[in-house]
Amino acid sequence: MSVADLLVIITGVLLRTVFVAFFPHSFVNLTPVCSITLVLAVAATLISVWFTVAFTLDRFLAICYQNVKAKYCTERTATVIMGIVSMVSCLISAPWYFTMSPEYNIDNIPWGCVYKLAFLNLTSWASFELLTFSLMAWFPFFFLLLLNSLTARHIIVSGRVRRGLRGRTAGDNDPEMENRRKSVVLLFCISGSFLLLWSTQVIYVLSERVFGTPYVKGSEFESVGFMLQVLSTCTNTAIYVLTQNKFREQMKRFLRYPIYLIVKLVKKMNAS
């Protein structure tokens, strides 16, 4: 998940935005190159989103179906699923290469990327764009909301049973129940953040393709939607990772280590 999110930043932000804006005459702005970076950015976004869905499914099975955890929640299964998701995402993203045309030519060399008129006008391309955004936003959100809701329901129901077995007084001071309540909040934060961060981009695409408003590349609304979309590929990984106790402990050790080296160096200097 972290590698996929990093690829989104590299392809979607650095190559397609920063380099094009600040280095307009670099090789990245050649039409074939920027067409390839568009394909890579779409593929990386699909991979990042569906890796999050796959991870959520893995947690759902591990929490709600303990009997299948040992069989399916394994490293081998995760490797196979990641390979399938990556391959399918690349295949779906490949047609985006043919949506671009040169913005201008210098010495018969095509520079810049603008959408072809066929992409803007043909119903087939509009359907393909809506399909891509459905796979990026609508379907993943549905699965995230469904899986997280079922997981939260299982946690709440099992918590009630546990509280009943232990007694109400014991349940109120039960650390396990507190961890389960935090898990429920975490799961709905993931679904909520995904919906909020993708909503601007979804509204933009719907307004352009479904309701027929003018397709204005580079508009402020599109820029905000793109920014939030890129941010959404990072939030879920951060939420999942930062809430893990082992990761927090390793982070504390990482932050304390430079201080430890400085203190050790000072003591050595004083001793000498």
Q: For the chain, which residues make up each domain, given as ranges?
A: 2-245
| Residue 110, φ and ψ in degrees, nearest 5 | -75, 130
* Residue type, position 136, single letter: M
| Residue 191, φ and ψ in degrees, nearest 5 | -65, -45
The DSSP bridge pattern shows strands 104-106 and 109-111 to be antiparallel
C-beta separation of 237 from 193 below 8 A = no
Helix (H) or strand (E) holding 13: none
- 115: nearest Cα among 103, 127, 129, 130: 103
Q: What homologous superfamily does CATH list for 2-245?
A: Rhodopsin 7-helix transmembrane proteins (1.20.1070.10)
Rg (CA), the chain: 24
- Give the pLDDT score at 88: 94
Mean pLDDT by 10 residues, the chain (272 residues): 79 82 83 91 90 84 79 82 92 92 86 84 85 86 85 80 62 62 71 77 71 56 75 70 67 79 82 69
Q: Distance between CA atoms of 155 and 152, rounded to whole angstroms?
A: 5
- Give the pLDDT score at 138: 83
- Give the pLDDT score at 171: 47
